[in-house]
Amino acid sequence: MTQITVTADNRPLRRDAERNRQRILDAARELFAQRGLCVTLNDIAHHAGVGVGTVYRRFPDKAHLIDDLFEQRVEELVALMDQASADPDPWNGLVGFLTRALELQAQDRALKEILNEMPDGVERVCRIRDRLLPLGSDLVRRAQESGRLRADAAATDIPIIQLMLSALMDAARDVEPELWRRFLAIVIRGLSADPGPPEALSPGPLLPNDVDLVMSRSKTSTP
Amino acid sequence: MTQITVTADNRPLRRDAERNRQRILDAARELFAQRGLCVTLNDIAHHAGVGVGTVYRRFPDKAHLIDDLFEQRVEELVALMDQASADPDPWNGLVGFLTRALELQAQDRALKEILNEMPDGVERVCRIRDRLLPLGSDLVRRAQESGRLRADAAATDIPIIQLMLSALMDAARDVEPELWRRFLAIVIRGLSADPGPPEALSPGPLLPNDVDLVMSRSKTSTP
DNA sequence: ATGAAAACGGATATGGTCAATCCGCTTTCG
DNA sequence: CGAAAGCGGATTGACCATATCCGTTTTCAT
């Protein structure tokens, strides 16, 4: 787990340096997850209990830090897709993938931004879509052959659905963090070739008062 | 149409002043529609062929200009809802309302932002939701009684659906401006109490190459 | 026609944010 | 113990949008 880092001339980092590097990575993970990629390196430094300079000594810039942190997280998506493809029922696999991918994004705001917004400078990490799409294509095809998925759905609809729901997730985060599940269920029903009678939606609808809160929360984060 | 403005002491504006005021309003309407509320008063002034100072002499600040411009536009939503309520088939009314409200937002980026994001300073104009929700409640109830809308849908789901689709609309604007219709159809099918066999989706799915474009376009506008 | 009042334009001041640097001080470790 | 490595965080620099200010131009009532 604890990766040992080495300096340019192959020497291990000094004990304090290695300790601070870990603290920075931990703080970054936590803050990125909570507030998204907009947190500053200053925020991260303070939260890690070190100075900004220390952050810049370890990581050339913000994009590198992000790449280092998220290369691994992003692999989880591929794993999820593999898992979905392995499901004997491709429809279940597809629904499970959408649900679990969105659960990941609900837990980590930065991951959501990387997947849906392709921020500048982290293209390397963004290339997962190139690996996900072919797998998704196969899953979609098999789900259609099983007769459960409507024939005119396409693999490219998957990221679009994620985009829509992650927008909702973002807006509703502070009011009803699970609201996306209600609308994912609606979308999935819309994708079904032959939906039965409606199954109960959960969570329930928003209260009228909460609508304004969700709308105004479309942008900012918690300080 | 051409409203005459008066100064504090009830005198009409000088001819050049009135002419410039109109130019500013026209330029603002156009730029807000194209690029959203983020355009600066500087942009607007230049596009109107006047100096920034002229804008600030007529409008105390950006929020006032926005309020003046959008009070009327926002009324169109209420009109749309009234029209929807008047439809003898409440399900048709509901579907029509969603479609037309989103068409309005597709044509005017700033309107979309006002409706879905409640920007600071324009609360006055944002209060339409208070008028829309009761009307929506009634429409939803009648659509349920007609047996076409699933029983567990609620009026508060309407703005959420608009939020999701307007996020998509924003992202896909430059690649496939009509893509939201595809997903609105899917959502509507998910809301239906007893959907028949799938009807053709239009437009078709995104090409794999376009997915990346849509994702990276989540934020910025055209300069 | 004329001159005072109104309006104009746009350079500039202001305030805010964030990335990135720099250097006097502290810690590590051979 | 002392040289090298590391540290902290104030500071610099770049940027950007809002809003102001004032020398010049336009209008219009007389």
Q: Is the pLDDT of residue B223 over 50?
A: no
Which pLDDT does position B8 carry in this prediction? Answer: 64
The residue lying closest to nucleotide C9, measuring its CA against C1', is B51
Q: pLDDT band at A170, cuts 50/70/90?
A: very high
How many other β-carbons are positioned within 10 Å of the β-carbon of residue A120? 10
Which pLDDT does position A65 carry in this prediction? Answer: 92
Extract the tokens encoding B95: 């579907």
Q: Which residues pair with A192 in a beta bridge?
A: A149
Q: Between the CA of A76 and the C1' of C18, what is the distance in angstroms?
A: 31
Which pLDDT does position B218 carry in this prediction? Answer: 61
The residue lying closest to nucleotide C26, measuring its CA against C1', is A16
- DSSP letters, chain A, are --PPPB-TTSPBPPHHHHHHHHHHHHHHHHHHHHH-TT--HHHHHHHHTS-HHHHHHH-SSHHHHHHHHHHHHHHHHHHHHHHHHHSSSHHHHHHHHHHHHHHHHHH-HHHHHHHHH--TT-HHHHTHHHHHHHHHHHHHHHHHHTT-B-TT--TTHHHHHHHHHHHHHHHHTTT-TTHHHHHHHHHHHHHBSS--SPPPPSS-PPPHHHHHHHHHTTS----
Q: pLDDT band at B125, cuts 50/70/90?
A: confident
Q: Is the pLDDT of residue B152 over 50?
A: yes
Alpha-carbon gap, residue B194 to A194, rounded angstroms: 10
Please report, rounded to a whole number, the percentage of residues in chain B having pLDDT higher than 90: 81
CB contact under 8 A, A160 and B153: no
pLDDT in tens, B159-208: 999 999 999 999 999 999 999 999 999 999 999 999 999 999 999 999 99
Q: Is the pLDDT of residue A33 over 80?
A: yes
pLDDT in tens, A50-77: 999 999 999 999 999 998 899 889 899 9
Taking the model in full, what pTM does it have?
0.93
Q: pLDDT band at B10, cuts 50/70/90?
A: confident
pLDDT in tens, A120-153: 777 777 688 889 999 999 999 999 999 999 999 9
Give the helix ranges, DSSP H, for B118-207: 123-126, 128-145, 157-172, 179-191
Write out chain B residues lying below 8 Å of A182, CB-based. 157
Q: Is the pLDDT of residue A43 over 70?
A: yes
The better pLDDT of the pair B221, A17 is held by A17
A198 is near strand C: CB distance < 7 Å: no
If phi > 0 it is left, if psi is from -120 to 50 it is alpha, else beta; for residue B39 that is beta
- φ, ψ of residue B149 in degrees (nearest 5): -100, 135
Q: Which nucleotide is nearest to B57 (CA to C1')?
A: C7
Q: Are B169 and B180 in contact (CB under 8 A)?
A: yes
Write out chain B residues lying below 8 Å of A210, CB-based. 156
Residues 13-32 of B with CB under 7 A from strand D: 14-16
Which pLDDT does position A2 carry in this prediction? Answer: 56
Interface membership of B125 toward A (CB under 8 Å): no
Which pLDDT does position A223 carry in this prediction? Answer: 32
Q: Between the CA of B6 and the C1' of D29, what is the distance in angstroms?
A: 18
Give the residue from B165, B186, B207 with the most A CB atoms within 10 Å of its CB, the best one to mutate.
B186
Taking Cα atoms as reference points, which of A217, A134, A204, A138 lies closest to residue A171? A217
Across the range B120-147, mean pLDDT stands at 90
Question: CA angle A19-A23-A24, nearest 5°?
Answer: 115
**Minimal C-alpha gap between B177 and chain A (Å):** 14
Across the range A165-189, mean pLDDT stands at 97
